[in-house]
């Protein structure tokens, strides 16, 4: 075990997959000599050559469509979007071709798309988005949102080996800020299994990605309140671990769904609706959602702070719930 940043865990995990499986290749803008905008693939081209670490033209559709073709021919492509925001330029390839090909035509499309996502550094409306909810609505796509270095590595290995199109959202705000022990050996972290980030009895927070840490800080601030908060990190949205969520709700009877993406139509709605439908009788309070408001992501730091759910917002939400 070694302590690694979230970023290093992704980078090491990817390198390991490339070493053990010749079918894996990386393609994206500036992933070669430059090592990618966030340096995840730094040194990869030297090790694996220019045909396994491919500098693509500025062509998200060609990148994702190209990965789809290569995957159908037996490769295990890993595409890097320079920022998750730019995946909008490959939306059609993902929802029309990759997502539906297995179901329609029996052809699996084992691709992984790495998506540096999330805000917190004044990236503005086009370098800060969390578009996971949009994809979670499309049958046939898997949606992965690791929060810890350990999961970042294990979920990436699973994504690459999974026979389906996997959207791997790596949160930029965690890249260098989050550091933790990561097993040295190779392992795969299974999809659809939530992680109990912190156990508790009185309130449940269901969340993923960077918000796991916001929830943790908020829970710490409630220490004096004599309420114990359970934090469930979903880890993957598709599939999502409904069982674990319902179990936590059954235990605490009060639940907060928290995400960094915008409110209306965000995946929090799906979770809250499912809880309301399937754990109705276990609830002692309305299912609360805390999310970003329905605006683009703002640039100016004060605005961005008002946009991204903050520790104090979560504290207030938890107190409301506790008092209900």
Partner 1 sequence: MAIREAEPVGSLREVKEAGLDREDLLGIYRNMVITRGIEERGHILYKQGKIPGSFYTGRGNEASAVGVATAMGANDVGTPLHRDMGVHVTRGVEPWRIFAQYMGRSDGPTHGRDGNVHMADSNLGLLAMVSHLPAMLPVAVGCALAFRIREENRVAVGWYGEGASARGDAHEAMNFAGVRQLPVVFICDNNQWAYSTPTHLEYACEHLADRAQAYGFDGVVVDGTDVLAVYREAKRAIEKARTGGGPTLIESLTLRMEGHAVHDDAFYVPKEMFEEWAKSDPIERYRSWLNAHADMTQDEEDEILGGVKRLLNEALARAEESPLPDAGKLTDGVFATPEDLDTPHHK
**Chain centre to alpha carbon of residue 15:** 20
139 or 224: CB nearest a copy of itself: 139
CA distances from 223 to 30, 121, 194, 202 (A): 46, 29, 24, 12
The correct pick among 45, 82, 130, 262 for binding a copy of itself (CB under 8 A) is 262
All residues at 6 or more sequence positions from 82 whose CB lies less than 8 Å from its CB, including other chains: 28, 29, 30, 36, 37, 116
The correct pick among 100, 114, 153, 235 for binding a copy of itself (CB under 8 A) is 100
Residue 117 binding partner per list partner 1, ligand TPP, a copy of itself, none, with a CB distance cut-off of 5 to 8 Å that depends on partner kind: none
Smallest gap from Cβ 299 to a copy of itself, in A, equals 9
Task: Tell me how far apart the alpha carbons of residues 257 and 204 are, in angstroms, rounded to a whole number.
Answer: 8
Span 9-68, contacts to ligand TPP by CB under 6 A = 29, 58, 60
175 or 208: CB nearest ligand TPP: 175
Task: Tell me how far apart the alpha carbons of residues 20 and 16 are, in angstroms, rounded to a whole number.
Answer: 6
What is the DSSP secondary-structure string of 17-66? HHHH-TTEEEEETT-STT--TT-TTTTHHHHH-TTTEEE--S-HHHHHHH
Smallest gap from Cβ 50 to a copy of itself, in A, equals 29
Judged by DSSP in three states, 127 sits in coil
60 or 202: CB nearest ligand TPP: 60
Residue 316 binding partner per list ligand TPP, a copy of itself, partner 1, none, with a CB distance cut-off of 5 to 8 Å that depends on partner kind: none
Q: Hey, what long-range contacts does 276-282 have (CB within 8 A, 24 or more apart)?
A: 278/242, 278/246, 279/246, 279/249, 279/250, 282/246, 282/249, 282/250, 282/253
The correct pick among 238, 244, 245, 318 for binding a copy of itself (CB under 8 A) is 238
Residue 190 binding partner per list a copy of itself, partner 1, ligand TPP, none, with a CB distance cut-off of 5 to 8 Å that depends on partner kind: none
Span 129-148, contacts to a copy of itself by CB under 8 A = 133-134, 136-140
Span 41-70, contacts to a copy of itself by CB under 8 A = none
Kindly report whether the peptide bond that precedes residue 239 is cis, defined as omega within 30 degrees of 0.
yes
Q: Catalytic residue positions? A: 127
Residue 187 binding partner per list a copy of itself, partner 1, ligand TPP, none, with a CB distance cut-off of 5 to 8 Å that depends on partner kind: none
Smallest gap from Cβ 268 to partner 1, in A, equals 18
Look at strands 179-182 and 2-5 and give their pairing: antiparallel
Smallest gap from Cβ 247 to partner 1, in A, equals 24
Q: Indicate whether 86 belongs to the interface with ligand TPP (CB under 6 A).
A: yes
Closest to 207 (Cα-Cα) out of 179, 178, 236: 236
CA distances from 207 to 59, 245, 268 (A): 33, 10, 8
The correct pick among 89, 246, 306, 311 for binding a copy of itself (CB under 8 A) is 89
Residue 300 binding partner per list ligand TPP, partner 1, a copy of itself, none, with a CB distance cut-off of 5 to 8 Å that depends on partner kind: partner 1
What is the DSSP secondary-structure string of 134-175? HHHTSTT-EEE---SHHHHHHHHHHHHHSSS-EEEEEETTTT
Q: What is the DSSP letter of 177?
A: T
Q: Indicate whether 82 belongs to the interface with ligand TPP (CB under 6 A).
A: yes
Interface residues with ligand TPP (CB under 6 A)?
29, 58, 60, 82, 86, 89
Residues near a copy of itself (CB under 8 A): 85, 88-89, 91-92, 95-96, 99-100, 103-104, 125-126, 133-134, 136-140, 238, 262, 264-278, 280, 283, 285-289, 294-296
């Amino acid at each position: 075990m070694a302590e690694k940043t979230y970023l290093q865990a992704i980078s090491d995990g990817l390198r390991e997959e490339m070493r053990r499986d010749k079918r894996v290749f990386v393609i994206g803008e500036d992933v070669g000599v430059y090592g990618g905008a966030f340096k995840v693939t730094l040194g990869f081209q030297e090790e694996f050559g220019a045909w396994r670490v491919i500098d693509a033209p500025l062509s998200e559709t060609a990148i994702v469509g190209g990965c789809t073709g290569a995957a159908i021919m037996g490769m295990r492509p890993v595409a890097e979007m320079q920022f998750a925001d730019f995946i909008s330029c490959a939306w059609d390839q993902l929802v029309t071709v990759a997502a539906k090909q297995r179901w329609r035509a029996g052809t699996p499309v084992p691709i992984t798309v790495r998506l540096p996502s999330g805000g917190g550094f004044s990236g503005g409306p086009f370098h800060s988005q969390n578009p996971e909810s949009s994809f979670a609505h499309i049958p046939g796509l898997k949606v992965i949102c690791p929060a810890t270095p350990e999961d970042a590595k294990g979920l990436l290995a699973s994504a690459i080996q999974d026979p389906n199109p996997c959207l791997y959202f790596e949160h930029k705000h965690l890249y260098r800020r989050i550091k933790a022990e990561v097993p040295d050996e190779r392992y795969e972290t299974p999809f659809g299994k939530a992680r109990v980030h912190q156990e508790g009895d009185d309130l449940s927070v269901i969340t993923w990605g960077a918000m796991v840490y916001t929830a943790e800080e908020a829970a710490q601030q409630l220490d004096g309140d004599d309420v114990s908060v359970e934090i469930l990190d979903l880890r993957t949205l598709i599939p999502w671990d409904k069982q674990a969520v319902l179990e936590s709700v059954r235990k605490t009877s009060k639940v907060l769904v928290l995400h960094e993406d915008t409110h209306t139509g965000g995946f929090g709605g799906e979770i809250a609706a499912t809880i309301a439908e399937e754990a109705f009788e276990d609830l002692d309070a309305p299912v609360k959602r805390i999310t970003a408001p329905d605006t683009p992501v703002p640039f100016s730091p004060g605005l961005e702070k008002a946009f991204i759910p903050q520790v104090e917002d979560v504290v207030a939400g938890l107190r409301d719930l506790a008092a209900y």
